[in-house]
Amino acid sequence: MPQTTTDQHAGGLPDPRPRKAGGIVPVLAFAGITVAVMQTLLVPVIKDLPTLLGTSPANATWVMTATLLAGAVATPIMGRLGDLYGKRRMLLVSLAVMVVGSLICGVTDDLVIMIVGRALQGFAMGAIPLGIGIMRDELPREKLGSAMALMSSSIGVGGGLAMPVAALIAQNADWHALFFAAAGLGTLSIGLTVAFVPESSVRAPGTFDWLGALGLSAGLVSLLLPVTKGSDWGWTSGTTLGLFGLSAAILLLWGVMELRSAAPLVDLRTSARREVLLTNLASIMIGVAFYAVTLVLPQLLQLPASTGYGLGQSMVVAGLCVAPLGLTMMLTAPLYARISARRGPKVTLIIGMLIIALGYGAGLGLMNAAWQTVVISVVLGAGIGLAYSSLPALIIGAVDPSETGAANGLNTLMRSIGTSMSSAVIGMVLAHTSVRTGGAALPSMHGFRISFMIATGAVLIGLVLAAFLPGQRSALRPEPSAVGEEPGYPAVEHRTTLVAGSGGFTGRVLDADGAPVARANVTLIDRRGRQAGRTTADAEGRYTLLPPGAGPYVLAGTASGYASHACPAEYRGDGVAVTVDLPLGRGEAQGQGQGAQEHSSAVTS
């Protein structure tokens, strides 16, 4: 009897049921925009928060900081919970927590209660990687690129579109209406998700690493607190330096613990792969560049014209001038899909960052009229949209389907760290370059230009990082060999061609001594050199892969510290499951002439 399964576990077979895109993409994109709104919801009233809450300016900043910290902590945790227990389920939990937080904020003027509510709003940021994970699991391949691009860009889209709407509400109604509007958006998103988004069939093995979650949370809070509050406390104060040191110690111990865990919250070995590590580092730089424009342009637009450089616009007009940032990011999703299909996400990322650098460079001389800020917003929106859209594709191409939520959660966290760094550094620059006008300290044009230069520098660092990413294909990209293989295959020794049926390929990844290689990557490559399947072996080195259709393939195994190994295989769909053990030697990648030890066992249908 054939062996079947309804869920795809790590290393398991994919669910054979047909998938329908339906309303998944717009509903998930709407969910992403909804939670992203929380980041800029209070920007129009940020200068009035001390008066509205009856507290000092230093205390009022906690209303913004709480959302940032909660989002940073929740993003990787919710991603992992989604991998384990269902991405749709955790998405609904995230949205429900956001609604509760919004209602709490909507009925209070107390600072402490407001901070609690804002933290619950920030908790919903985990919805972004969960939505990307659902798309990967449920959408056909031809629709996946543009869908993930739209979901990834929703962080900027929500932030950009929220500002003019929030400004309009704040200018014409009680400021608590902002929170009730957010609760309404969250409730609508929950209803749409229940109606149109199916639960993912992909599950990761293992249990949730509660100790790892606690350690990561403590480390992130210890890191981001001094980053966001350093300008208030003093960058050389004992509190700031002490928290930085505490964060380093906690994260170091957490990393050691995660490497020893059988089911870690974050697979650091996967995160250390070149494509994953460089993508995450580039994400930090893009986060710095994105937040810089949202900090500078609204202030420049609203400063009084009497300063000599302020543009004297109302809160609503300032929001409308910055809104093209979000709109352009949304419109670049289809463009990303076309470029990436031809050139790969690496090229799209580089093009996006070049456009960002161009936008900031031009912005140094385009700050003299409101229409010029619109031009800056459009150019930067196009670049940030392309860059953000590329990130999930780069991450997903390097990890197992069962790790999608956690991996994209970590990537979203890197963006959040970038925005936190941007907020802290640019806030410090604007404070130290401010000028006194009419008895008040106002940001100066010199400070705005320095902020744009910082953003440009971050993008240039990101470009260097992106240049070292693998190209359109992975490191296993097939190339013609010197022993007469058909073009499109890696150099492998011609031994027995293995035939797989509906049972797919299964086996173990072993080292030279026959011991299992845990968490090794096993990749299936078609005759065009494209990745046709990928999985990660479990703790015992076991894996399972099902080819997408009949034809010749190459089955390849890789692991950090081992030489890769590949062998040709053919899928005929005749009901035979083939066991293939992949032996990995020590040292650098092996060339041709490396033998394969394989054996097969038939499973009759």
pLDDT tens readout for residues 261-309: 777 777 777 777 788 889 989 999 988 888 888 778 888 888 888 888 8
Residue with tokens 């009022």: 60
Q: What is the predicted pLDDT for the residue at 436?
A: 77
More confident residue, 532 or 14: 532
The domain limits of the chain are: 24-208+263-467, 209-262, 481-605
> Are the C-beta atoms of 319 and 481 separated by less than 8 Å?
no
Take residue 141 and report the two structure tokens written for it.
Answer: 């391949």
Our separate counts of H helices and E strands in the chain read 19, 11
The band of 571, judged by pLDDT with boundaries at 50, 70 and 90, is: low
Q: What is the predicted pLDDT for the residue at 9?
A: 39
Neighbours of 179 (CB within 10 A): 24
Give residue 365's identity as a one-letter amino acid code.
Answer: G
More confident residue, 417 or 529: 417
Predicted confidence (pLDDT) at residue 78 exceeds the cutoff of 80: yes
Residue with tokens 């929030």: 166
Decide if domain 481-605 falls under CATH 1.10.10.10: no
Give residue 398's identity as a one-letter amino acid code.
Answer: A
The band of 595, judged by pLDDT with boundaries at 50, 70 and 90, is: very low
Take residue 386 and report the two structure tokens written for it.
Answer: 């392309």
Take residue 379 and report the two structure tokens written for it.
Answer: 């150019």
Give residue 212's identity as a one-letter amino acid code.
Answer: G
Take residue 565 and report the two structure tokens written for it.
Answer: 């190994």
Nearest-10 Cα torsion for 347, 386, 457, 70: -120
Query: Could you tell me what percent of the chain has a pLDDT over 70?
Result: 80
Q: Give the relative orientation of helices 274-302 and 315-322 as an angle to the nearest 10 degrees.
A: 150
More confident residue, 514 or 109: 109
pTM: 0.66
- Grouping H, G, I as helix, E, B as strand and the rest as coil, residue 113 is helix
Q: What is the predicted pLDDT for the residue at 538?
A: 81
CATH for the stretch 24-208+263-467: 1.20.1250.20
Predicted confidence (pLDDT) at residue 219 exceeds the cutoff of 80: yes
Q: What is the predicted pLDDT for the residue at 581?
A: 82
Take residue 356 and report the two structure tokens written for it.
Answer: 């960002």
The band of 488, judged by pLDDT with boundaries at 50, 70 and 90, is: very low
Predicted confidence (pLDDT) at residue 495 exceeds the cutoff of 50: no
Q: Give the tens place of pLDDT for each residue, 107-125.
A: 998 989 999 999 999 888 8
Q: Give the tens place of pLDDT for each residue, 375-431.
A: 998 999 889 888 888 887 788 777 766 666 667 777 877 887 888 788 778 877 887
Q: Give the tens place of pLDDT for each residue, 5-61.
A: 334 433 333 333 344 455 788 899 888 888 888 877 887 777 778 888 888 777 787
Q: Which of 287, 301, 519 is nearest to 416 (CA)?
A: 287
- Encode burial over 246-275: b for 16+ CB neighbours within 10 A, e otherwise: bbeebbeebbeebeebebbbbbebbbebeb
Q: Which of 506, 490, 277 is nearest to 399 (CA)?
A: 277
Task: Note the Cα 107 to chain centre separation in Å.
Answer: 33
Q: Strand 505-510 to strand 582-583: parallel, antiparallel, or no bridges (unpaired)? A: parallel
Take residue 241 and report the two structure tokens written for it.
Answer: 């330096």
Predicted confidence (pLDDT) at residue 149 exceeds the cutoff of 50: yes
Average pLDDT over residues 150-167: 72
Predicted confidence (pLDDT) at residue 487 exceeds the cutoff of 60: no
Predicted confidence (pLDDT) at residue 441 exceeds the cutoff of 60: yes
- Grouping H, G, I as helix, E, B as strand and the rest as coil, residue 41 is coil
